[in-house]
Chains A and B, each alone.
Chain A
Amino acid sequence: MAKVFNWQLGREMDYPYEGTRPRRQFAMVFDTNKCIACQTCTVACKTTWTPGRGQEYMYWNNVETKPYGYYPLGWDVNILEKLGVQDQSKPVYAGKTLFEAAPPGEPVLGYLPDDADYANPNVGEDDSTGLMPQGAYLTMPHMQWMFYLARICNHCTYAACLGSCPRQVIYKRPEDGIVLIDQTRCRGYRECVKGCPYKKVYFNPITRVSEKCIGCYPAVEGGRQSQCTVTCIGKIRLNGFITTPDRADEHNPMDYLVHVAKVALPLYPQFGLEPNVYYIPPIHVPPPYLIQMFGHGVPQAIETYKRARDDKRLLGALMLFGSTPEILHRFRVIGDHAIGYDEKGGEVVRVPLTEPFQIRAFFDEARKVYRHNVT
C-alpha cells in the first residue's frame, strides 16, 4: 500500500497505488433540495448506454429515496455495518477508511451483493422515516423525512474498483479523471463489484465482463455535460471539472461550490475514495444522518444554502444548473444575470436570477387583436 493524500479526509491514507492526479478531474454537483426523483437521468443513461442483453438490471445512474431506498438493496447499510462506527467529529478524519479496514491480503473492505439485491431498483420510493400521525405538522427540520439521492459512479480519485482489479483493466484517464473498465481486457472476476462501496460497477452475465458509468466521455470530450445532466429537469446537476482545494479557482463553478462556498459535499467521504460527485445536502433532514452520509461539513453547507438568497454569487452559480448542455469552465454574476463561459472564455449561457414579468399592450394595433389573460 502506498500513502496518498485525501483532501476530503484532511490526511494521508493507504491506497494500493501511488497517488497520481489526472490533469483535470470530471466532477458533478447534485443539489438534493431540487431532486424530484423523476428518474429522467436514469432513463437517459439507460437508453443511451445500457439497453442491451445482460444489462437489463443495470442502472449506471439511479435515484433512490433515502433512507429506505437503495440500489442494490442495502448497499450503504451493509458497508457501513462492515466498517463499523467511525469517528467523523473533526475535519481531519480520525476513523478508518475502507482501504485501512481491508482484511489481510485484500486491497479494500468490500462485499459482493447477492443477485437478488438488484431486484427492486426503486425499493423505498418515497418512504419516509417514522410513522406519519393523523394531522402531522412538520417544521424544519422535518421529524419524519425522506429525500432523493441521485447516484452515478463517483469517478473517485482513489477508486476502489481500480484498486481491486487483479488484472489492472480499470484505469483513470489522465485528461479528465474518468474511471473506465477496459471492456476488451476485463475477465469478469467481479473484484471491482466487490470493492466499490457505492456498488456502481455491474457484472454483465451475457458479455461476462463488468461495466460501469463512463462519465459520458464521448460527450465530455466534445465539451458537453453528461446525459444524466443535460436531461435533468429538476436542474439539480452541474457537470464540469474540479481541482484540489489548494488550487481552487473561484471562477470555476465546481471549485466555487465545493471549495469556496463549501455548499456541496462528497458521498461517504469516510470510505476514503475521494469521490468526485458532490451533494448539496437536503436542508429539511436532521443533521446526524446527513453527517454519516456527507461528512462533518453538513451543518455549514446547510447554513450556506439557506443564505443563498442573500448571496448573489452563490445564487448565480446555482441558477446555471441545467441551463445549458455545455460544460462551464467559468462563471460570473453581473447585475441580475448569471453567465457561464466555455473553456476559451466564450459566453455559453446567460440567465436572469428572476424571470422577468412582462405586460403586453391591451390592443395590438399591428395585428388588430386584444390581448387578455382570460380568453
Chain B
Amino acid sequence: MNAPTVPLSRRRFLQMASLAGLGTVLAPSELLAQYRFLDPVRVDNPLAQYPNRDWERMYRDIFRHDRTFSFLCAPNDTHNCLLKAFVKNNVLVRIEPTFGYGKATDLDGNRASHRWDPRCCQKGLVLGRRQYGDRRIKGAYVRKGFKEWVEGGFPRDPQTGRAPAEYMRRGWDSYVKVPWEEAYALHAKALVNVAQTYSGEPGQKFLLAQGYDPVMVERAEGAGTRTLKVRGGMPFLGALRLCGLYRFGNMLALLDAKVRGVSAEGAKGGIGWDNYSWHTDTPPGHPMVCGEQTNEFDLFATEYARLIIPWGMNWISTKMPDSHWLTEARMKGAHVVVVTVEYSSTANKGDEVIVIRPGTDPAFALGLAQVIIKERLYDEAFVKQFTDLPVLIRMDTLAPLKASEVFPGYADAELKNFTKVVKPGEAIPPVPLQDAQLIPAALRGEWGDAVVWDAKTRKPVALPRDDVGEWLGKRGVDPVLTGTFEVTTTDGKKVQVRTVFDLTRELLDKSYDPDTVSKITWAPKEAIVGLARQIAANREKTLIAVGMGPNQFFNQSLKDRAIFLVLALTRNLGFPGGNIGSYAGNYRLSMFNGMPQYFNEDPFNPQLDSQGPVKTRLYRTFESLHFLNYGDRVLREGTKLFTGKTHIPTPTKAMWLANTNSAVGNIKWHYDFVFNTLARVECLAVNDWWWTGSCEYADIVYGVDSWMEFKVPDMTASCTNPFLTVFPRTPLRRSFDTRADVETLLGVSQKLAELTGDKRFVDYWKFVTEEHVEVYLQRILDASQPTRGYRFEELEVKARDGIPALMMMRTYPRTGSWEQIHESRPWYTKTGRLEFYRGEPEFLEAGENLVVYREPSDSTFYEPNVIVARPHPALRPKSPEEYGFSRSKLDYNARQGRHVIVAPADLLKTRHPLWGQGFRYVFHTPKYRHGSHTTPVDTDILANFFGPFGDVYRRDKRSPHVGEMYVDLNPEDGKALGVQDGDYVWIDGDPETNPFRGAGREGREAELHVSRLLCRARYYPGTPRGIMRMWFNGYQASPGSVKGHETRADSLAKNPETNYQAMFRYGGHQSATRAWLNPTLMTDSLVRRNLFGQTMGKGYHVDVHSAVGAPREAFVKVAKAEDGGIGGKGLWRPVQLGLRPANESAAMKRYLTGGFVLIRKA
C-alpha cells in the first residue's frame, strides 16, 4: 500500500531519460508513459482508495481554456443558435450552448424561460473542425477558362453571341487563386460585358438566336442587366450580408443607366431569385386559403394543444432543438398522431402512427373532411363566421356569385374592418404604422362582394368582406350551408347557384369516403375515421404541423387546402393550441418587413447620412429560380403557355450566389443543371466559407468568413421560434485570407465604379466602407414592425453573452390567424374569409376550383398527376386536346399541364408510363438529422454517424468518405431484386430526362459516368414495399470527386485540387429528381398579401405565389451493382453476423423478443 509518489518517480525517470539521451524534450508525462512498467504500486481495494491521483490533472488540463466567445450558428434550419466557443492557445477547441435563451427578454420586459435551453446540435458542435478544415476557401479563386475568357476580351460567337464552349468547361476545369482585387475586377468586367451584350435590339437578337423563349426575351425589356441575377441563400439568415445580394441587384440599375444611357426613370436593375419557394419549402396552398404566405405557429405552441399531428414533418430529425416541446407536451398529456410515409424518427414519439402512401396527403385530408361532414362533427358557427363555405357559386360559369350580379344597383360595401382601400396614387403609410390591410382600389372593384343564402329570409344576401367572425352575427344574417338555389341576375338570367359547402360535400361523399381514401392512401379506414373524430373532439386544441415532405410533391397546394379545410371545419385555426403550421426552411424575411429600407434603397440617391431618411426605389425585380432549373424555360405544351404573365422569367446570363448551395450543388435535377443548363450562363460567382458542390462549378469563388470569425455583424430571426438573434463580431482571428460577404459586394461595386466612372456604386456601400454597418441594420430594425424599438448595439452586446432578444410579434408564441379569430379581422383573401373555393380561370381550367386529389406527378405506381374523382358538376377542367395535345401524351413536360379526371376505382387499374420498363419504386429524398437543409454533411465525425455505413478507418476502400449516402429499401423489395442489405446498387430515373437530358447520347459518356447514381442499399424495415428513401443531405459526385476516388492513393471521393468531398462515388440523390412547374402555382389572378407589410396584390409574388417544384417526385429502377462485403466480396459484415433486419441469427431473434430473461406472465 506504500506506493512511491509520482514526484519521486518522475525525478528517477528524468534521470533515466537523460541517460538514455532523450534529454528533456519529452514532457514528463510522456516519459512516465515510457517507463511506467518500473512503477510498483499495489492497490488493495480500488473501490475504496487509490494511492496517487495526480495524473487526474491531465483531463483538467484538457478541459481548461483561455477564453470564450459567442457566435451565431445559422444554417438554413430555422433554429439559429447562439453558441459559446472555447479558445485555447488562440485555437477554437470546442463549442457549447450558451444557456442564454432563458435570459431573453422583449421590449416590455417579458422573458422566455430556461425551458428554451440548451440550444445547439451536433452540426454546430463540430464547427471547430470546419473552421480549420481543408475545405475552407482560403481566398478568392477563379476558374481558369473563365479567366481566359475575360482576359481574352470576351470572345463570342458572332451569330448568337454565345461564349465559346471551351471557356465554359465547368466542373472539369481547374482554379487559380488570385488577389481579391483581381477577382473583383474580373467579376465586374464580366457583369459589364454581359449587360452590354444583351442590351438593346442586338442583345435581344442574340438571346433569341440562343433559343430562349420569346416571352422570356421580351421580359428582359432590352436591358442586359435583367439577365444578371443574384441570390443570398435564405436572406432571412443574414439581413445585411445575404439581403445585400438583393441590394446589389437593385444597384445594377446604375449599370443599366450607363450601358443603355437611360435615366434613373428608365433604368432597370438585376433580378433577385426566390428562396422559400425555390427550396420547395413553401406550402403554396396557404395563400390560396388565407392569402398569407404561410399560416403557422411557433413550435412551443404545443404547450397549449391536446392533439398534435406531425404530418409529413419529421419533427424529431429536422426541428431538433424544438423536439422537446413535442415530447414534453406528450408527457403532459397531449396525444400525438404521426402521419408519415415510414416509421420515421418522429413515429417513435407518437401515440398513433399512420403510414400513408407518399404524396397521397391531399386524399388523406379529404377523407378526414368527409368523415367530419358526414358525421356532422363540424363547428357550424365557426364555418359560417370564418369560411367561404356558405358562399354561393354560379353553376353556369362556376364563378362565385357577386352581389352586383343579383342586386340591381348594388354598390360594394365600404370596407372598414381593419381594412383600407387604397386609391391610385394614394400614399400608403410606412410599415410600422400600417394598422390595416391595404387593398388597391382596382382589386377591390374586381372582387365585389360575395353572396350567401340567408336562412331566415330565404333569399340571397350580400356578404361584405368585413363580415367576419362576430360581425356576421351583428348583421343578423344566418347563411345556409347546403342547398341548390336559383337566382335571377340583373340581366334577367335564371342561374342555378350552390354553396361551396354543398359542392364540397358532394365531392367528398362521391369521391373521398373512407373506403375510397383507404384504397388511395393505404391508410386503414379506422385510422381515417378515428383521426377525424379526434380532431373534431379537440376543438381549439388540435395542432397540425406539416413538413416539407408533402410540400415537395406536385400536388402540394391541394394538400394545404385540404388540411386547412379539416381544421376550419373543426374550429382549429388561430388558437394557441389549435392551428396549422408548415415547417421547412428559415423563410420569414417578412419579419424584417422594413427590409426595403436596405435592399430597395435608391442607388441613384443613396442616403449617406447615417441618421437621414432613406429613399427607396425598386429597380430589381424578383423571379423564381425554378425556371432556370427547368432549363431556363417556361412551361409550354401544345398551344398552351402555362406560365402566367406575372411569373415569366428572363434569360439568365450571370449569377451571383451567397451562402447557398441549393442553387447549384444541391439543385434539383442537379446533373441536368450543371451539364446542360449552366452551359448557357456566362458568369457564376459563389460566396461561401466551405468548398461546396456549388463551388465545384463556379467561375469565381469568394472565400468568406465563417460564423466563428465574423468581423462584420449581422442579424436574423426564425420562423419557428420567437428569438431575434444577432451574429456578433467575434474575437477569433481569421484563419485564412477571407472577407465578409458585404465586403465582396463592396469590392465588385468599387470595380464597377472604376469601369463606369460612377462613384455612386461605392456610395451605395458607404457604411460598409466605413465599417459602420450598424447603420443599415438599425434602419431595418426601425422600419420593421416586430423589431422597432430595439437598438442594434444593445442586441449585439447581449449576443456576445449568448443572449438573444424576443421578436415583438402580437403574441408569444406567434400564432397565425390569431387576430382573425380573436378580433374578427378578415384574412388576406377576396372574401376576407378562409377560402376553399377558387373561382379564378386558371383554377377552373385545372379542375382545382374545388379541393381535389391529384396523383403525384411521378412518385406513383399509377397514372401520374391525374385528378382522382368521380364526375362532379363543378369539375370541368380543360382537356389536353383543348390545349392542342393528346391525352395519351404522358411525358414529363406534358404531364404537368394535363388535366385528366380518373375515377378512384379506375386509378388503381392504371400504371405509371415507365412501369413496363422495370421502373417500380417511388424514390423520395427527405432531409435528415445529420445535415441541415442544403448544407450537406462531410465533416468527419458527422459523416461517420450519417447512417449505418460509417467507418472512420475506411476498411472498405470503395467508401467515398468515412461515411456514405445510401438508399433505404424494404427488405422484401431487396430480396426480390437480388439485393442484399449493404450491397451497392444503381438507381436510374426516367431515361428521357435523368440524370440529365441527352445522357444516352454519344459524346456524353464522361458526364454520365459521373452522374449515374451508385450507392449502398440498406434494408430498412420502416419503409413499405415500393417506397425507397434517400437522404437529401449528402455532397454529390462531381467530375473532381470522381477523379479523386479513381486516382487518389487513398481512394477518397475527394477532388484532388479543390478538396471537395463527395458522399457518393457516383451520382447523388438529385440524379433522379427534376424541376417541375405547376400551372396553378403560376397564376396571374390569385389574391394574396405581399411579402412585406399589409399590402395585398395578385398574381406572382416572390416566395408567396410562385412556382415551387416537386423534388419528392421520382420513380426509379434499381439494379444490384456490387456485393456489400469489403472490397465487393460477400456480405456486409453485420449481415453475415446475423445482426441485421431480415437476416437475424438465432440469438438475435431471441434478443428481439426479450427471450434472454424469464419474466412474470401478465
Q: Does A pair with B?
A: yes
Interface, chain A (partner B; CB < 8 A): 17-21, 31, 33-34, 36-40, 42-44, 46-49, 56-57, 67-68, 70, 73-74, 76-78, 80-81, 83-90, 95, 116, 119-140, 142, 144-148, 158, 162, 165, 168, 170-174, 180, 182-185, 187, 207, 209, 214, 216-219, 221, 227, 230-235, 270, 282, 284, 287-293, 296, 305, 308-309, 315, 318-319, 322-325, 349-360, 362-364, 366-375
**Cβ contact of B945, chosen from A122, A216, A355, A360, cutoff 8 A:** A122
Known: A230-B97, A284-B350. A122 touches B948 (CB 8 A): yes
Nearest CB in chain B: distance from A43 CB, A: 4
| B96 close to chain A: CB less than 8 A | yes
Structural contact, B1021 and A130, CB atoms closer than 8 A: yes
Structural contact, B811 and A48, CB atoms closer than 8 A: no
Chain B: CB-nearest residue to A41: B122
| Chain B contacts with A in 51-78, Cβ cutoff 8 A | 53, 55-56, 58-60, 62-64
Complex interface: chain B residues within 8 A of A124 (CB): 948, 1140
**Cβ contact of A168, chosen from B43, B323, B1153, cutoff 8 A:** B43
| B639 close to chain A: CB less than 8 A | no
Structural contact, B1153 and A364, CB atoms closer than 8 A: no
Q: Binding site of A, secondary structure by majority: helix, strand, loop or mixed?
A: loop
Complex interface: chain A residues within 8 A of B117 (CB): 322-324
Complex interface: chain B residues within 8 A of A354 (CB): 303-304, 332
Structural contact, B114 and A367, CB atoms closer than 8 A: no
Q: List 10 A-B contacts (CB under 8 A).
A: A47-B125, A89-B1157, A122-B946, A127-B1019, A129-B1152, A131-B972, A180-B56, A322-B324, A358-B110, A364-B788
Structural contact, A168 and B46, CB atoms closer than 8 A: yes
Complex interface: chain B residues within 8 A of A36 (CB): 316-317, 320, 323, 345, 929
| B7 close to chain A: CB less than 8 A | no
Q: How far is the CA of A18 from the CA of B359 in the complex (A)?
A: 63
Structural contact, A182 and B50, CB atoms closer than 8 A: yes
| Chain B contacts with A in 302-337, Cβ cutoff 8 A | 303-304, 316-317, 320-321, 323-324, 327-328, 330-333
Structural contact, A123 and B324, CB atoms closer than 8 A: no
**Cβ contact of A87, chosen from B434, B435, B1158, cutoff 8 A:** B1158
Chain B: CB-nearest residue to A229: B118
| Chain B contacts with A in 1134-1162, Cβ cutoff 8 A | 1134, 1137, 1139-1142, 1147-1148, 1150-1160
Nearest CB in chain B: distance from A92 CB, A: 13
Chain A: CB-nearest residue to B437: A374
Q: How far is the CA of A315 from the CA of B112 in the complex (A)?
A: 19
Structural contact, A218 and B59, CB atoms closer than 8 A: yes
Q: How far is the CA of A144 from the CA of B1141 in the complex (A)?
A: 12
Structural contact, A292 and B970, CB atoms closer than 8 A: no
Structural contact, B1139 and A77, CB atoms closer than 8 A: yes
Known: A89-B1158, A315-B331, A358-B812. A231 touches B118 (CB 8 A): yes
Q: How far is the CA of A222 from the CA of B357 in the complex (A)?
A: 53
Closest 9 CB pairs of A and B: A135-B522, A288-B1154, A309-B333, A171-B50, A171-B46, A88-B1157, A168-B43, A218-B63, A292-B1154
Known: A292-B1156, A369-B788. A136 touches B355 (CB 8 A): yes
Structural contact, B1160 and A231, CB atoms closer than 8 A: no
Structural contact, A85 and B1155, CB atoms closer than 8 A: yes
Q: What 1/0 mask marks residues of chain B from 426 to 446 whose CB sits below 8 Å from any chain A CB?
A: 000000111100000000000
Q: How far is the CA of A162 from the CA of B108 in the complex (A)?
A: 57
- Starting from the known contacts A127-B1019, A158-B47, 5 additional A-B residue pairs (CB-CB under 8 Å) come to A34-B323, A132-B1024, A136-B1024, A137-B526, A369-B433
Q: How far is the CA of A138 from the CA of B946 in the complex (A)?
A: 27
Structural contact, A134 and B522, CB atoms closer than 8 A: yes
Structural contact, B1158 and A88, CB atoms closer than 8 A: yes
Nearest CB in chain A: distance from B1142 CB, A: 8
Q: What 1/0 mask marks residues of chain B from 79 to 119 whose CB sits below 8 Å from any chain A CB?
A: 00000000000000111110100100011101011110111
Structural contact, A174 and B33, CB atoms closer than 8 A: no
Structural contact, A185 and B355, CB atoms closer than 8 A: no
| B1089 close to chain A: CB less than 8 A | yes
Q: How far is the CA of A369 from the CA of B430 in the complex (A)?
A: 10
| B941 close to chain A: CB less than 8 A | yes
| B557 close to chain A: CB less than 8 A | no
Chain B: CB-nearest residue to A159: B47
Complex interface: chain B residues within 8 A of A125 (CB): 945, 947-948
Q: How far is the CA of A46 from the CA of B815 in the complex (A)?
A: 39
**Cβ contact of B1140, chosen from A68, A129, A356, cutoff 8 A:** A68
Structural contact, A372 and B115, CB atoms closer than 8 A: no
Q: How far is the CA of A43 from the CA of B951 in the complex (A)?
A: 16
Structural contact, B1021 and A132, CB atoms closer than 8 A: yes
**Cβ contact of B115, chosen from A47, A165, A351, A363, cutoff 8 A:** A351
| Chain B contacts with A in 947-961, Cβ cutoff 8 A | 947-953, 955
| B944 close to chain A: CB less than 8 A | yes
Q: How far is the CA of A21 from the CA of B435 in the complex (A)?
A: 68
| B353 close to chain A: CB less than 8 A | yes
Complex interface: chain B residues within 8 A of A39 (CB): 122, 929-930, 945
Nearest CB in chain B: distance from A287 CB, A: 8
Q: How far is the CA of A356 from the CA of B725 in the complex (A)?
A: 21
Q: What 1/0 mask marks residues of chain B from 354 to 376 whose CB sits below 8 Å from any chain A CB?
A: 11110000000000000000000
Complex interface: chain A residues within 8 A of B316 (CB): 36-37
Known: A120-B948, A182-B55. A363 touches B1024 (CB 8 A): no
Structural contact, B1020 and A127, CB atoms closer than 8 A: yes
Complex interface: chain A residues within 8 A of B129 (CB): 47
Nearest CB in chain A: distance from B1133 CB, A: 6
Q: How far is the CA of A144 from the CA of B348 in the complex (A)?
A: 10
**Cβ contact of A137, chosen from B56, B348, B527, cutoff 8 A:** B527
**Cβ contact of A18, chosen from B45, B930, B953, B955, cutoff 8 A:** B45
Chain B: CB-nearest residue to A363: B435
Complex interface: chain A residues within 8 A of B60 (CB): 218, 221
Q: How far is the CA of A158 from the CA of B1019 in the complex (A)?
A: 39
Structural contact, B1021 and A144, CB atoms closer than 8 A: yes
Complex interface: chain B residues within 8 A of A49 (CB): 59, 62
| B349 close to chain A: CB less than 8 A | yes
Structural contact, B808 and A371, CB atoms closer than 8 A: yes
**Cβ contact of A305, chosen from B99, B331, B948, B949, cutoff 8 A:** B331
Structural contact, B324 and A68, CB atoms closer than 8 A: no
Structural contact, B784 and A375, CB atoms closer than 8 A: yes
Chain B: CB-nearest residue to A233: B321
**Cβ contact of B929, chosen from A37, A120, A360, cutoff 8 A:** A37
Structural contact, A121 and B785, CB atoms closer than 8 A: no
Nearest CB in chain B: distance from A121 CB, A: 6
Nearest CB in chain B: distance from A215 CB, A: 10
Chain A: CB-nearest residue to B429: A370
Chain B: CB-nearest residue to A52: B62
Q: How far is the CA of A23 from the CA of B266 in the complex (A)?
A: 82
Structural contact, B809 and A34, CB atoms closer than 8 A: no
Nearest CB in chain A: distance from B538 CB, A: 15
Q: How far is the CA of A133 from the CA of B317 in the complex (A)?
A: 23
Complex interface: chain B residues within 8 A of A357 (CB): 303-304, 576, 811-813
Q: How far is the CA of A73 from the CA of B813 in the complex (A)?
A: 44
Structural contact, B351 and A139, CB atoms closer than 8 A: yes
Nearest CB in chain A: distance from B11 CB, A: 15
**Cβ contact of A132, chosen from B102, B816, B1022, B1133, cutoff 8 A:** B1022
Structural contact, A371 and B785, CB atoms closer than 8 A: yes
Structural contact, B1160 and A90, CB atoms closer than 8 A: yes
Nearest CB in chain B: distance from A210 CB, A: 13
